């Protein structure tokens, strides 16, 4: 039976050295609880770093044994690994880049090497435990190279990857010198998940533009499989926060704190010390509020919890000093003997106290400058049992995509944040209740357990889809079957598309001239079979390229046909009525003028707008615009607009490759048919083929064809084998 392995940089525990032995406490974090539903089952395990540098072999052995009982496997890191891989590349390169703090990015090749080395260390640890068919779920930005390393060692494993922090726009991604390796690393997974749609579209764009893998509807077309990319907004353990808020312990803490603080309004803010959290900006806004509204003095105060983190790093040290200074300035300016505006804590609190803070606060001010999701805002909402309280939430947090009933603010807009706090302080109880109820309903439904379930279901779904493609792949068995059938046939017929099928694509379509290898294959094939080149290309180009070959040619999707027996004479399918061309050409020209790199190709029966050379992204955008424009025009002229491989073509609907192929076959004896093509225009050919024909689509797209094949290179190999 296959098992599931969870992998993250940190194991869900903390280790403490006591009297020469390590003691550990399990983490109570939401992720640990959510994933607990997986790794605590059956043979499943969690692999990760225990969080301490342990050099002694004896101590390591003790930890391994201890953790084994709790279904965890440690990966030990040296002090150097921690400095260069964790503090270095993860936290000084990836973290600032992915949170849009480009000024803090450190470009250090030694850190990069360490990152690579530690990802390999993780890979080795996993390979010691994993079976070929296991499911492996890798978490977060410290392990971006791991999915590819695992894929190479375990090609059939089911690999999921989830990134907890934002994925930045292509503009940021391309700044990182090691961007290609990073993206390729992530593409080793079968499913790549992010919190939000924006993260996933940034990732897809970077993958397309940096490593050249195209995608459609969130599916990346990799060399030999489809990778699914999707958004999975992470939830919290809702029940736990609700229960804790109800508990006697929390209720009594609330009573006690309230007695000390009186009935003033409380604003809670909780963050790890980090520049992405916007803590100084928040303090500035609070200061402005107090300056503008003296009537609030003594009536409102802020409870600011900052959890210590990375404070040995210079930028964090400076941030800490800035916060200390600001809090000092506000308190020294406004405090009275009975009122302190900011209650500032630079430390963490036990869970029941945290719950009390959430429960008793009137407002949660969650204003990160950038945050993957942010769970604090969700925990605040879940703790509001009396439905009194207002959430002010930054638009830059992933959670803002879900919690639309919060007061949403731009954290850089100080005026907006001041107004939002004032709005929250004066909000009617009924409105508070309506907003909270609606958010609670969705948080309760999409909790962390649901998140885990949805991710895993999706992962297995992707795997099943891949298996479908795999079963259609032209493997050795299929090749032998085609070969045998071909050899025993008296009248074999081959329908071969040209671009993308017999040759690769070039920036300029006229440069895709058949090379020596292809010429040799076609020449040999045409001695043993009836070969038909069936293409959308114009007849002059095809006629020129295959002038001396004994093959039939179908050009422009079937407008023209040239039988090998008829020398250089082309037959026309139907009179071409091209009175529509001028109007359509004018429209296309307008889009050429606006789109550097685009060009128009004119064929007898159609006009084609090419955008292969256009800047990626812009080409798609213009194509879609032109598509809807042309679709509207097409109705009036009874034409059909079709999207191809980096082209948009407008033509008569009754002309297609399928009809042309059928027409040609009428007078032809055949006891073996092989049809190969790479795009939607070839689907008409596949559909028209009689039962028993072998039909193959190049690339792993959904198709009417019986089989898929990787690329034109494999097509050439297959064809060469037929006449070996």
Q: Hey, which residues are catalytic here? A: 497
Size of the site for ligand GDG (CB under 6 A): 20
Residue 47's alpha-carbon distances to 5, 282, 688, in angstroms, are 7, 38, 53
Instruction: Using the minimum distance from each CB to ligand GDG, give the nearer residue, 186 or 376.
Output: 376
Neighbours of 41 (CB within 10 A): 11
Pairing of strands 647-651, 707-709: unpaired
Nearer to ligand GDG, 159 or 373 (CB): 373
Nearer to ligand GDG among residue 94 and residue 623 (C-beta): 94
**b/e per residue 279-296 (b: at least 16 CB within 10 A):** bebbbbbbbebbeeeeeb
CA 645 to chain centre: 23
Tokens of 202: 């940034």
Structure tokens at 378: 């969700």
Q: Which of 234, 267, 330, 718 binds ligand GDG (CB under 6 A)?
A: 234
Residue with structure tokens 């026309």? 572
Q: Choose among 351, 325, 346, 331: nearest CA to 273.
A: 346
User: CA-to-CA distance for 47 and 43, rounded, in angstroms?
Assistant: 13
The SS3 call for residue 65 is helix
Strands 599-602 and 571-572: unpaired
Task: Point out which span in 104-112, 149-157, 375-383, 406-414 binds ligand GDG (CB under 6 A).
Answer: 375-383
- Distance of closest approach, residue 103 Cβ to ligand GDG, in angstroms: 19
Tell me the window of 369-377, 551-559, 661-669, 710-718 that interacts with ligand GDG (CB under 6 A): 369-377
3-state secondary structure of 530: strand
Q: What residues between 632 and 661 interact with ligand GDG by CB under 6 A?
A: none
Q: Cα 723 to the chain's mean position, in Å?
A: 44
Q: According to the 3-state scheme, what is the secondary structure of 591-617?
A: HHHCCCCCEEEECCCEEEEECCCCCCC
Sketch the per residue contact string, 306 through 335, with ligand GDG: x for CB under 6 A, - otherwise.
-x----------------------------
Q: Per-residue contact track with ligand GDG, 165 to 184, x per CB under 6 A?
A: x-------------------
Shortest distance in whole angstroms from residue 161 CB to ligand GDG = 13
Tokens of 387: 């439905």
Residue 406 lies near ligand GDG (rule: CB under 6 A): no
Task: State the minimum distance, in angstroms, from the CB of residue 7 to ligand GDG.
Answer: 15
Q: Kindly state the smallest distance separating residue 461's Cβ from ligand GDG, in Å.
A: 22
Q: Residue 31 in contact with residue 12, Cβ under 8 Å?
A: yes
Q: Which stretch binds ligand GDG (CB under 6 A): 177-185, 332-340, 370-378, 500-508?
A: 370-378
Residue 32 interacts with ligand GDG (CB under 6 A): yes or no? no
Does residue number 371 form part of the binding site for ligand GDG (CB under 6 A)? yes
Q: Which is nearer to ligand GDG, 269 or 287 (CB)?
A: 269
Q: Binding of ligand GDG at residue 392 (CB under 6 A)?
A: no
Q: Taking the complex as a whole, how short is the minimal distance between the CB of residue 198 and ligand GDG, in angstroms?
A: 13
CA distance 361 to 344: 15
- Which of 305, 420, 443, 474 binds ligand GDG (CB under 6 A)? It is 305
For residue 359, give the nearest of 428, 256, 234 by alpha carbon. 256
Chosen residue from 182, 304, 365, 375 binding ligand GDG by CB under 6 A:
375
42: left (phi over 0), alpha (psi -120 to 50) or beta: left
* Shortest spacing between CB 264 and ligand GDG, in angstroms: 22
Tell me: does residue 164 bind ligand GDG (CB under 6 A).
yes
Tell the smallest beta-carbon distance from residue 429 to ligand GDG (Å).
26
**Residues 328-367 close enough to bind ligand GDG by CB under 6 A:** 348-349, 351, 354
Binding site for ligand GDG (CB under 6 A): 29-30, 164-165, 234, 270, 272, 305, 307, 348-349, 351, 354, 371-376, 379
């Amino acid at each position: 039976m296959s098992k599931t392995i969870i992998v993250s940089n940190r194991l869900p525990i903390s280790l403490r050295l006591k009297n020469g032995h390590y003691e550990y406490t399990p983490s109570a974090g939401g992720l640990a609880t959510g994933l607990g539903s997986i790794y605590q089952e059956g043979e499943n395990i969690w692999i990760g770093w225990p969080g301490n540098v342990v050099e002694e072999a004896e101590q390591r052995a003790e930890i391994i044994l201890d953790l084994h009982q709790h279904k965890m496997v440690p990966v030990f890191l040296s002090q150097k690994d921690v400095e260069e891989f964790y503090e270095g590349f993860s936290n000084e390169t990836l973290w600032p880049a992915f949170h849009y703090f480009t000024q803090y990015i450190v470009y250090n090749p030694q850190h990069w090497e360490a990152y690579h080395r530690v990802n390999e260390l993780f890979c080795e640890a996993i390979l010691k435990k994993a079976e070929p068919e296991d499911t492996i779920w890798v978490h977060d930005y410290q392990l971006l190279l791991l999915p590819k390393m695992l894929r190479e060692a375990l090609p059939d494993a089911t690999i999921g990857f989830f990134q907890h922090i934002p994925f930045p726009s292509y503009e940021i991604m391309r700044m990182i010198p090691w961007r290609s390796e990073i993206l390729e690393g992530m593409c080793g997974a079968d499913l790549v998940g992010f919190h939000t749609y924006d993260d996933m579209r940034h990732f897809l764009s970077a993958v397309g533009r940096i490593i050249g893998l195209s995608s459609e509807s969130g599916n990346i077309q990799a060399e030999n499989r489809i990778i699914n990319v999707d958004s999975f907004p992470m939830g919290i353990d809702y029940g736990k926060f609700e229960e804790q808020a109800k508990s006697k312990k929390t209720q009594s803490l609330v009573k006690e704190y309230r007695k000390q603080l009186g009935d003033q309004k409380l604003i809670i803010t909780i963050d790890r010390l980090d520049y992405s959290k916007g803590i100084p900006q928040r303090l500035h806004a609070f200061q402005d509020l107090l300056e503008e509204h003296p009537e609030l003095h003594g009536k409102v105060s802020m409870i600011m919890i900052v959890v210590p983190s990375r404070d040995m790093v210079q930028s964090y040290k400076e941030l800490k000093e800035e916060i200390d200074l600001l809090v000092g300035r506000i308190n020294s300016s406004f405090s009275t003997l009975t009122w302190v505006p900011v209650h500032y804590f630079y430390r963490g609190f036990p869970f029941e106290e945290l719950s009390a803070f959430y429960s008793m606060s009137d407002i949660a001010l969650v204003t990160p400058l950038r945050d993957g999701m942010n769970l604090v805002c969700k925990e605040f909402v879940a703790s509001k049992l009396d439905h009194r309280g207002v959430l002010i939430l930054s638009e830059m947090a992933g959670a803002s995509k879900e919690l639309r009933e919060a007061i949403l603010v731009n954290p850089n807009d100080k005026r907006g944040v001041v107004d939002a706090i004032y709005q929250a302080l004066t909000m009617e109880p009924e409105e508070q209740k309506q907003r909270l109820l609606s958010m609670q309903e969705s948080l309760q439904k999409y909790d962390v357990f649901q998140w885990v379930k949805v991710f895993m279901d999706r992962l297995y779904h992707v795997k099943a889809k891949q298996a479908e493609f795999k079963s259609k792949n032209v493997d050795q068995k299929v090749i032998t079957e085609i070969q045998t059938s071909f050899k025993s046939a008296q009248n074999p017929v081959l329908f071969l598309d040209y671009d993308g099928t017999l040759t690769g694509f070039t920036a300029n379509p006229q440069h895709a001239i058949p090379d020596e290898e292809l010429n040799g294959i076609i020449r040999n094939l045409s001695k043993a079979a009836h070969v038909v080149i069936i293409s959308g290309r114009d007849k002059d180009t095809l006629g020129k390229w295959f002038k001396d070959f004994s093959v039939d040619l179908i050009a422009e999707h079937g407008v023209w046909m040239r039988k090998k027996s008829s020398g250089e004479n082309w037959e026309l399918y139907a009179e071409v009525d091209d009175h529509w061309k001028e109007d359509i050409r004018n429209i296309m020209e307008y889009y050429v003028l606006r789109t550097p790199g685009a060009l128009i190709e004119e064929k007898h029966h159609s006009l084609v707008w090419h955008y292969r050379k256009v800047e990626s992204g812009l080409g798609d955008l213009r194509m879609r615009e032109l598509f809807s424009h042309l679709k509207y025009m097409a109705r009036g002229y009874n034409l059909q607009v079709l999207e191809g491989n980096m082209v948009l073509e407008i033509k008569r609907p009754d002309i297609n490759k399928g009809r042309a192929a059928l027409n040609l076959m009428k007078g032809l004896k055949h006891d073996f048919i092989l049809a190969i093509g790479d795009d939607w225009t070839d689907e008409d050919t596949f559909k028209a083929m009689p039962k028993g024909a072998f039909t193959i689509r190049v690339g792993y797209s959904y198709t009417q064809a019986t089989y898929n094949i990787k690329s034109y290179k494999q097509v050439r190999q297959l064809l060469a084998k037929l006449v070996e």
